Structure 1
Amino acid sequence: MERRRSGGDHRENYTNPFDGEDQVSSADEKEEVMVEEGFKDTEVPPWAKQITLRAMLTSLVLSIVFNFIVCKLNLTTGVIPSLNVAAGLLGFAILKFWTSLLGKAGILKQPFTRQENTVVQTCVVASSGIAFSSGTASYLLGMTPRIANQSEGGNTPANMKELHLGWMIGFLFAVSFVGLFSIVPLRKLMILKYKLTYPSGTATAYLINSFHTPKGAKLAKKQVSVLFKYFAGSFLWAGFQWFWTAADGCGFASFPTFGPQAFARRFYFDFSATYVGVGMICPYMVNISLLLGAILSWGILWPIIETKKGDWYSADEKPSSLHGIQGYRVFMAIATMLGDGLFHVIFMLSKTTISLIINIKKKGSEVPGYGDDENSKLVKYDEKRRTEFFLKDQIPNWVAGGGYILLAIVSIIAVPHIFPQLKWYQILAAYVIAPVLAFCNAYGCGLTDWSLASNYGKFAIIIFSAWVGLPNGGIIAGLASCGVMMSIVSTASDLMQDFKTGYLTLSSPRSMFFSQVIGTAMGCVLTPLVFWVFYQAYPVGEEGSAYPAPYGGVYRGIAMLGTEGVSSLPKNCFKLSIIFFFAAMIINLVTELLRKYETKYRIYRFIPSPMCLAIPFYLGGYFAIDMCVGSLILFLLELRNKQKASDFGPAVASGLICGESLWGIPAAILALSGVNPPMCIKFLTAAVNGKVDGFLSG
């Protein structure tokens, strides 16, 4: 779940569709002010000078930080907010500080520009984006014996693979760059001719443009100050909590906020600054949907199903077995996610097709300032200037086409060596289909800010796992194909967002492309390394662990569904899953109908998201409570001063997220060194405490 620049997608990476439309419309109104008029005396450096050494060093440092943040979020609940504001702010702060020092020393050779700021932001988000599309917490983790042994199904040698740094880095390099070349030839069509909004890319551009005006720089300085203040507080709080966690069940995270019975049903506040910050960034309805999903599942459904123990499923099944209560939790969540995903794929493809037909039929749709159209002289100053710079540094189509074919060939050769379960012709089939899906995803993302990369990945799991079959390693084949498909589709929409940001900041398409390439390369190395620190230091993926990595089991469950069919499910699980599958589609259909035809009260805003409802099915409600606390804090700030809440809320949230997440670095180093927390604090009921006292006194 994520409010990402790419529209986030996944409600492991959730984004609120159309959430950016209001921002963009208001931003378009501000267009009349002629943003570029304020920069007309500022020289735009050539594309090669936009990618500076200091920008790359800054990007590397921030990429390490953001990879730790995203990795920790992936391994806990999978709820990932947008980190664009934090990346833009920190990039601006570091480079502004550095160039100010050089300026005072009289050795500043090149001033800090918004183009350089855009390059840093693009590079950092591309790098941390690999932490999501790499699947270290989902499809790659789902291959491991650690996850397979919990499912007790398909755990044969052909359907398991141990993780190792070497092949993980090799796999990411083999598949992560192909998508960058799949969409490059269509950049002028989408940005200039069809004028797709790409709300997150547009919002990022306005943010960066504002930083480089006197008023915006002053506000950015205050925002950075607030971010670092809450960063320090969050980091120190996380360190203080660690001090009291000497054993399982110790620490403030185990405080039974609503009593022991609610705690047993995973309803409690775990004092996580990270998810309080996440809650401040995510829309209110996302957080409420998560809480409703926790109440529906852990408060109603699971207690009812547990009364059927011995009838619907064996009383001897382990709690983690997919043939027991865990099977209902996992497969009903999967069904809801697939229902939500299928609806949005159909909806997005329909919207894309209709929009394309309208654009093709539209008369006078020549690119302003591009060609011999006489009306180009009447175009606004901003648009004319932006179009001029956007068309200045071309990326030849033969480079894009040749790059795609060459990298696809490398991937077709390399991936079967890493995953023998996948044959070369199956990967070829994926690369033949992928450009069409990449176009649809990038186009739909431009319309709605909604990326469906993870949904395409889930459907790839089912198709390829069924194609290969369980005896031949269908589970591994399906999970690996997910990585191939997601990498292409996700990076394509990310790059087009970058082109839109570059268009609005006069950043060269070449600098956007190469910064995305560099950021992707950083991510291919940093993501496995950062994940490996957590994987070696903690029992990642195990129930009850501080890092349960829920989507490892979910993705493996999808692959099992593709290879074994419904026969692997416990009694009545398939019927309940079908109900939740269609319920998700109906909820989305009602939401879209209300969005289109009901405008007075905008009731659709109060309809919960099926994907968000499904996330707590596996984990419980503790993180949803944290996020609702974040929403409450933001709501109170807005009541007090709405403008200040808008200006500083994201900075506060980013500081809370960064601080606690980065405590994971020293905590993991201490764990690897064999240094354990010195104290344990536990919260007991009076009855249990009496028994403990009696035992100790006896």
Structure 2
Amino acid sequence: MILGDGLSNLCLVASRTALDMYRKSRRDAAMMPVAGGSASAAASLDTVAASFDERRRTAAFLKDEIPVSVAMCGYAGLAALSAAVVPLIFRQLRFHHVVILYAAAPAMAFCNAYGCGLTDWSLASSYGKLAIFAFGSWVGMGEGGIVAGLAACGVMMSVVSTASDLMQDFKTGYLTLASQRSMLVGQAVGTAMGCVMAPAIFWIFKSANDVGDPRSLYPAPYAGVYRGIALIGVEGLGALPEYCINFCAAFFAGAFLLNAFKEMARHKRWGVQQFLPSAMGMAVPFFIGAYFTIDMCVGSLILFLWERSNRRQAREFAPAVASGLLCGDGLWSLPASVLALLKVDPPICMKFFSRDDMAKVARVLK
């Protein structure tokens, strides 16, 4: 569902962008030319901006616009560097494996940035697991498929998570009137520092503790989880649970068709697209629990009622209210951890059983 929702939106954005560029080229051909791509973009957005603040933010954000050619050349250069260096570190992963990884990563990065914008939750690990299955089964057990799958997972997660983090930074920069280029430079400096500091810190931890030992202070439980996924991946699709691929394909197609129906409803002006659910919003709770969807549902209901009573006030203060709710939800993890350490149990416990188990519980309670 996550992949289907993200890829369908990628197709929609690409098609809309191509259509808008085509229409704009025909319209500009009949009008006087405008010098400067960013100025023309700012002027077109200025006409549809809803308020002075949005016009000012748009103009400030587009003033130091990063050229597309710079972004493409930078990505191609980093991909070439990785294709040359990564196989030297992990010899199970070949040159062409890294090239294919970087060719597929932009689509996955768009999906993750889109999902992170919707849910404020980065799902980079999900795309990393896809890389484990794909490249682990491709390389095979005899050629070191476990290490190859885990290395491919690391490369995919690095690209995908960086994309969502950068988009979050750009969103913050847009709201705070910061420059695109300053945000990108800051991200590059932080990444360069991480390339030096992260291995050094890991080496210190590794020297002082038995990292990975279940009896040590740092058991690294996720290492065993990802190795188990890689073990399943190298055995191919036959090692997955029965009907797993069928479920995956069905819900991928369902998410794709749901977004297609939304787009058709918007184009036909049926007025029902706001009542259709988000596939990404339905998929995320399968990873982190249903409480996330309940929070989104309650928040959307509050915003809906607020807009019905005072649309202007809701538009101006909704981001502040949403930020406060997110901060409160995050800060609650601290007292929740303290209560867990003190072994304080909640006064109410709710469980759901099957019909047979419920009958057994009823007989015991009688």
Q: TM-score range by the shorter chain?
A: 0.5 to 0.7
1:612 to 271, 288, 292: 288
User: Does the alignment pair 1:480 with 2:151?
Assistant: yes
- The structure-2 alpha-carbon separation of the partners of 1:653 and 1:584, relative to structure 1 and needing over 3 Å to count, comes to farther
Aligned residue for 2:167?
496
TM-score, with normalisation over the residues of structure 1?
0.34
**SS of alignment partner, residue 354 of structure 1:** helix
Among 636, 649, 657, the residue aligned to 2:328: 649
Q: Distance in 1 between matches of 2:65 and 2:158?
A: 24
1:357-402 C-alpha deviation (Å, 9 max, x unpaired): 4565578899997359688467432122112221222334343233
TM-score w.r.t. length of structure 2: 0.60
Report the CA distance between 1:512 and its aligned residue: 0.2
Residue 393 of structure 1: aligned partner:
64
CA distance in structure 1 between the aligned counterparts of 2:48 and 2:273, rounded to whole angstroms: 36
Q: Are the counterparts in 2 of residues 369 and 387 from structure 1 also a CA contact under 8 Å?
A: no
Alignment of 1:406-555 (within 5 A): 406-446=77-117, 449=120, 451-543=122-214, 546-555=217-226
Indicate the SS of the match to 1:395.
coil
Identity %: 46
Letter in 1 for 2:8: S
Report the equivalent of 1:99.
none
Matching residue within 350, 370, 373 for 2:40: 370
CA separation in 1, counterparts of 2:211 and 2:331? 29
Distance 1:526 1:375, change over 3 A: closer
Q: Deviations over 1:265-319 (max 9, x none)?
A: xxxxxxxxxxxxxxxxxxxxxxxxxxxxxxxxxxxxxxxxxxxxxxxxxxxxxxx
Q: Distance in 1 between matches of 2:160 and 2:170?
A: 16
Name the SS for the 1:391 alignment partner: helix
Secondary structure at 1:394's aligned position in 2? Answer: coil
Cα 1:351–1:583 shift into 2, 3 Å: closer
In structure 2, do the counterparts of structure 1 residues 351 and 447 end up closer, same or farther at CA, with 3 Å as the change threshold? farther
Cα contact 2:6–2:114 (8 A) shared by 1: no
Structure with greater contact order relative to length (CA < 8 Å, sep ≥ 6): 1
Deviations 1:99-144 (A, max 9, x none): xxxxxxxxxxxxxxxxxxxxxxxxxxxxxxxxxxxxxxxxxxxxxx
Deviations 1:38-72 (A, max 9, x none): xxxxxxxxxxxxxxxxxxxxxxxxxxxxxxxxxxx
| Structure with more helix by fraction | 2
After superposition, the Cα gap between the structure-2 partners of 1:523 and 1:382, relative to the gap in structure 1 and judged at 3 Å, is: same
Q: Give the Cα separation in 2 of the matches to 1:404 and 1:528.
A: 23
CA contact (8 A) 1:444 1:450 kept: yes
What per-residue deviation string (whole Å, max 9, x for no partner) do you get for residues 580-636 of structure 1? Answer: 9849987x979x98xx99969x9x99999322369xxxxxxxxx9xxxxxxxxxxxx
Q: How does 1:16-35 map to 2 (within 5 A)?
A: none
Q: In the alignment, which residue of structure 1 is the partner of 2:354?
A: none
The answer to whether the 8 A contact 2:10-2:110 is kept is no
The answer to whether structure 1 residue 345 and structure 2 residue 3 are counterparts is yes
Distance apart, 1:418 and its partner CA: 0.7
Instruction: Decide whether the 8 Å contact of 2:92 with 2:147 is kept in 1.
Output: yes
Quick check: 1:562 aligned with 2:230?
Answer: no
Q: Which runs of 5+ in 1 are unaligned?
A: 1-342, 615-623, 625-641, 660-698
- RMSD (Å), alpha carbons: 4.7
Shift of 1:579: 6.3
Indicate if the aligned counterparts of 2:119 and 2:281 stay in contact, CA closer than 8 A.
Answer: no
Q: Quick one: distance in 1 between partners of 2:111 and 2:88?
A: 30
1:470 Cα deviation from its structure 2 partner: 1.4
Closer, same or farther in 2 for the Cα pair 1:382/1:532, shift >3 Å?
same
Contact 2:38 2:65 in 1 (8 A): no
Measured in 1, the distance between the counterparts of 2:130 and 2:69 equals 31
Look up the SS of the partner of 2:195 in the other structure: helix
Aligned equivalents of 2:237, 2:40: Cα separation in 1: 56
Please state how far the C-alpha of 1:551 moved relative to its aligned partner.
2.0
Query: Aligned to 2:40, what secondary structure does the other structure show?
Result: coil
Tell me, in whole angstroms, the C-alpha distance in 2 between the residues paired with 1:406 and 1:444.
27
Which shifted more, 457-466 or 345-354? 345-354
Q: CA deviation at 1:475?
A: 1.0
Whether the 8 Å CA contact 1:441–1:489 is kept in 2: the answer is: yes
Distance 1:490 1:523 in 2: 14
Structure 2 residue runs without a partner (length 5+): 29-36, 259-271, 292-320, 339-366
**How far, CA to CA, are the matches of 1:373 and 1:598 in structure 2?**
29
Contact preservation (8 Å) 1:368, 1:376: no
Partner amino acid, structure 2, of 1:353: C
Give the SS at the match of 2:142.
helix
